[in-house]
Amino acid sequence: MSGSSEHTNRRRFLKGGAALSGAAVVTGGLAAPVVRAQDAGQSRLQQVLDRGKLVVGTGSTNPPWHYEDAEGQLVGFDIEMAKMLAHGLFELTPEQLADRAEWSKYLEFVIEASDARIPNLVSDKIDIVCQFMTITPLRAQQVEFTVPYYREAVTLLLPADSPYTGTADITGKGARIAILENADAVSMVHNGVPDAEVSTFDSVANSVLALDSGRVDATAIDLSTAQYKAAQAPDQYKVAIDSWQPQTYAFAVKPGDQRWLNWVNTSMQQYLAGLYFDMYRKAFQENFGVELAPPPAGYPVEFQ
């Protein structure tokens, strides 16, 4: 437990890092740089502490990850993950984390399209990407990924009264399955349900509307989106008991700053499986409707 002298020394370390009021939301990928390029020998970590604010790249149109609520406020799981980073950086209290006007002093979100994530990061417009970014070998040549914070997959969104529960019992029935149109859409569905009759749609929303109208038996959709839909309308939807085609989400930081990468990784391990697990569990339950079990004591779950 930290003593008062340690707390005082940390505040001195922040030297002049008083937070700016308000959280500026910058739209588009062409915003002027909001963070200065890394000084020789100075880590991004020290820059953020000196500035008193973390600048985060994210999106605004993809529930439950990052989207605007009825009041036009940016919410979602990625926003909660960014708040955890701010909590670790600036020792925010539970009261501050519960008050948007307070935590917004320490977080600035740059709203960006998915294809602007890497350019904004490497050009120092942002400190970190928190935008459901899938780890791929190609992207890892351009950015440095942190420890994962979510494992995504494809699953089936089903009507709440559907006789089907998952891929095992829907396979062999010639089921009609909707999916967002893309180059791999049909093969993606057939990887889970080989005999499915696949219908593609120009948006996830329209694929769900096909389910609502009874034109299809299920919609193949991201697991996180299915969980969100079922949590919002449990009388209307249920999620299949299985999933397939996993992919991993992580934060991304600019290459070449081991100190900053180490800090993010060390901190995230405490939210995912350590001291602050309750914060991650609460955000997970609120956004995906799933209650996580606490990590077991003894052998570190990270190495299992």
Backbone angles phi, psi at 72, to 5 degrees: 80, 15
pLDDT band, residue 28 (cuts 50/70/90): very low
pLDDT at 36 over 60: no
Average pLDDT, the chain: 88
164-198, pLDDT tens digit by residue? 999 999 999 999 999 988 878 899 999 999 999 99
Same domain? For 25 and 126 the reply is yes
- Residue 243, H or E segment: strand 237-253
Amino acid 4: pLDDT: 39
Amino acid 230: pLDDT: 93
Same domain? For 13 and 122 the reply is yes
Examine the fold and report which residue of 247, 274, 289 is the final residue of a domain before the chain moves on.
Answer: 247
Same domain? For 30 and 90 the reply is yes
pLDDT at 16 over 60: no
Same domain? For 124 and 163 the reply is no
Closest CA to 34 of 140, 142, 110: 110
pTM over 0.95: no
pLDDT at 144 over 50: yes
Amino acid 15: pLDDT: 35
Whether 50 maps to a domain, the answer reads yes
Same domain? For 10 and 34 the reply is yes
Whether 263 maps to a domain, the answer reads yes
pLDDT at 114 over 90: no
Amino acid 14: pLDDT: 36
- Residue 258, H or E segment: helix 258-273
Same domain? For 230 and 262 the reply is no
Same domain? For 69 and 108 the reply is yes
pLDDT at 50 over 50: yes
Cα separation, 253 vs 119, in Å, equals: 11
pLDDT band, residue 34 (cuts 50/70/90): low
pLDDT band, residue 30 (cuts 50/70/90): very low
Whether 176 maps to a domain, the answer reads yes
37 Ramachandran zone, left/alpha/beta (phi>0; psi -120 to 50): beta
Cα separation, 39 vs 244, in Å, equals: 44
The first and second tokens of residue 6, run together, are 């340690």
Whether 66 maps to a domain, the answer reads yes
Amino acid 304: pLDDT: 79
The first and second tokens of residue 253, run together, are 């930081």
Whether 148 maps to a domain, the answer reads no
| Beta bridge partners of residue 68, listed in sequence order | 74
Same domain? For 237 and 270 the reply is no
Whether 55 maps to a domain, the answer reads yes
Examine the fold and report which residue of 212, 228, 247 is the final residue of a domain before the chain moves on.
Answer: 247
Q: Which residue's entry shows tokens 């791999």? A: 184
Closest CA to 34 of 118, 103, 109: 109
Cα separation, 118 vs 36, in Å, equals: 16
Closest CA to 58 of 120, 142, 124, 151: 120
Whether 191 maps to a domain, the answer reads yes
Q: Which residue's entry shows tokens 């942190």? A: 146
CATH code of residue 185: 3.40.190.10
- Identify the domain containing residue 212 by its residue range: 153-247
Same domain? For 280 and 202 the reply is no
Cα separation, 59 vs 268, in Å, equals: 21
Cα separation, 36 vs 247, in Å, equals: 33
Same domain? For 181 and 79 the reply is no
User: What domain count does the chain have?
Assistant: 2
Examine the fold and report which residue of 247, 270, 295 is the final residue of a domain before the chain moves on.
Answer: 247
Least confident of 53-57, 93-97, 98-102, 134-138: 134-138
The first and second tokens of residue 219, run together, are 């919609």
Same domain? For 195 and 87 the reply is no
230-260, pLDDT tens digit by residue? 989 999 999 999 999 999 999 999 999 999 9
Whether 47 maps to a domain, the answer reads yes
Q: Which residues contact 304 (CB under 8 A, 6 or more apart)?
A: none
Same domain? For 12 and 109 the reply is yes
The first and second tokens of residue 175, run together, are 């089921």
Length of the chain: 304
